[in-house]
Structure 1
Amino acid sequence: MSNRKDELAANLANVDRRIAEACAAAGRPREEVTLIVVTKTYPASDVRILSELGVRHVAENRDQDAAPKAAECADLPLSWHFVGQLQTNKVRSVVGYADVVQSVDRARLVTALSKEAVRQERETGCLIQVALDAGESGRGERGGVGPAGIGELADLVARSEGLRLDGLMTVAPLTGPYAGRERAAFERLMDLSTDLRRTHPAATMVSAGMSADLEQAVAAGATHVRVGTAVLGVRPGLG
């Protein structure tokens, strides 16, 4: 256990240094950027260690893994983020533990989340997942709504009981005009965030950047970065 704690502490320190350096280079205060550790495929014991090390935000992408882990760690002062594509049949479970759903990309999902949040008497934060590989409209390869669909979906979230419109999220696209151009993709997301805040000023959260490209996300103005591998190591079964 102490070895794992030492390993995670060293990795966290390294990621924190990277974020701090990226903030300094961008002329931003370090406290403007929140680290979310993506704990998918890792056990609850790792989540517990991360909490001891000061991590306050963790993310999962599969409800069947996340629900038991969140239950096991219910005593910890953590905010849970759901970042995977979310099927409506999983909404009841996810609303039970997720403080924020970062992958809101269609009206049917908003309706299901609202109904369940009201039923459970919870307030669920929502990020609109933006697909920058989808052109202006349509859906992305990994979920998300095209830029042209943001406004309508954001308005629906904002007026839905039990939901809170927190902002936007994207995953750097593997195809389309932004493939291999992470900085440009994240800058486009920031422009879309600026547009959104004209009508929804409280929707200030911009979730972008992962282990490989967090610097580009911070440079563009992201408020939250989602880091898994750089903190927890290569995922089991992937090498």
Structure 2
Amino acid sequence: MTDRRNELATNLAAVEERISSACAAAGRKREEVTLIVVTKTYPASDVRLLHELGVRNVAENRDQDAAPKAEACSDLDLSWHFVGQLQTNKVRSVASYADVVQSVDRLKLVGALSSAAVKAERELGCLIQVALDADAGTRGERGGVAPDGIDELAAAVAEAPGLRLDGLMTVAPLAGPFAGRQRAAFERMMEFSSSLRAGHPAANMVSAGMSADLEEAVGAGATHVRVGTAVLGVRPRLG
């Protein structure tokens, strides 16, 4: 365990240096960017070590992995972020432990999350996941609503009992006009965020950037970066 703790500490320090350097280059304060460590496929023991090392925000993308892990770590002061595509039949479980659902991309999901949050007597933070590769009226390959659907979804979340509209999330697209242009993609997201805040001033969170492109996200103005591999190591192939 000591070896694993040292490995995680070393990796965290390297990621911290990258975020700090990116903030300095962008003229931003380090505290403007929150690191979320994506712990998917890794055990609860790693989550506990990360907590020891100062991590307070962790993310999961599959409820069947996240629910038992959150339960095993329920004694820790952690914020759990759900970042995967979410099916409505998993909403009740996710609403029992997640503090923020970053992958809200359709009206049906808003209704399901609202009902589950009210039943659980919890308030769920919600991010609208935006797919920069989606055409008007469609969803992206990896989830996310097309940009023209942001306002409708945001209004629905803002009005829904038990939900709190926190902002926007995106994944750098692999196709479309922004493919291979992460900085441009994230700058476009900041424009959407600015428009959203005009009607919803408190919805100022922008979750963008991962291990490979966190510098571009920080440079564009992201408030949260989601880093897995750079902290925990390369995930084993499943199957």
Q: For this structure pair, what is the TM-score category when the shorter chain's length is used for normalisation?
A: over 0.9
Aligned to 1:222, what secondary structure does the other structure show? coil
Which residue is equivalent to 1:162? 162
- Structure 2 residue 113 is matched with structure 1 residue 109: no
Aligned to 1:113, what secondary structure does the other structure show? helix
- In structure 2, give the amino acid aligned to 1:55: V
Shift in Å at residue 137 of structure 1? Answer: 3.3
Aligned to 1:16, what secondary structure does the other structure show? helix
Which residue is equivalent to 1:142? 142
- In structure 1, give the amino acid aligned to 2:31: E
Which residue is equivalent to 2:129? 129
Which residue is equivalent to 2:8? 8
Which residue is equivalent to 1:186? 186
Per the alignment, do residues 26 and 136 of structure 1 end up closer, same or farther by CA in structure 2, a change over 3 Å counting?
farther
Unaligned 5+ segments in structure 2 are: none
Q: In 2, distance between residues paired with 1:237 and 1:143?
A: 22
Aligned to 1:168, what secondary structure does the other structure show? strand
- Normalised by the length of structure 2, the TM-score is 0.99
Q: In 2, distance between residues paired with 1:33 and 1:175?
A: 27
Shift in Å at residue 138 of structure 1? Answer: 1.3
- Counterparts of 1:1-80 in structure 2, within 5 Å, are 1-80=1-80
Which residue is equivalent to 1:212? 212
Let me know the Cα RMSD of the aligned residues.
Answer: 0.7
Q: In 2, distance between residues paired with 1:221 and 1:137?
A: 27
Shift in Å at residue 28 of structure 1? Answer: 0.1
Which residue is equivalent to 1:171? 171
Shift in Å at residue 236 of structure 1? Answer: 1.7
Which residue is equivalent to 1:87? 87
Q: In 2, distance between residues paired with 1:147 and 1:138?
A: 9
Aligned to 2:35, what secondary structure does the other structure show? strand
Shift in Å at residue 237 of structure 1? Answer: 2.2
Shift in Å at residue 232 of structure 1? Answer: 0.1
1:128-150 deviation line (CA, Å, top 9, x unaligned): 00000003431101000011000
Aligned residues: 238
Q: In 1, distance between residues paired with 2:149 and 2:195?
A: 13
1:74-118 deviation line (CA, Å, top 9, x unaligned): 001100000000000000000000000000000000000000100
1:13-64 deviation line (CA, Å, top 9, x unaligned): 0000000000000000000000000000000000000000000000000000
Q: In 2, distance between residues paired with 1:172 and 1:76?
A: 31
Q: In 1, distance between residues paired with 2:207 and 2:119?
A: 28
Unaligned 5+ segments in structure 1 are: none
Q: In 2, distance between residues paired with 1:69 and 1:138?
A: 33
Aligned to 1:202, what secondary structure does the other structure show? coil
Percentage of identical aligned residues: 77
- In structure 1, give the amino acid aligned to 2:206: V
Q: In 1, distance between residues paired with 2:120 and 2:21?
A: 41
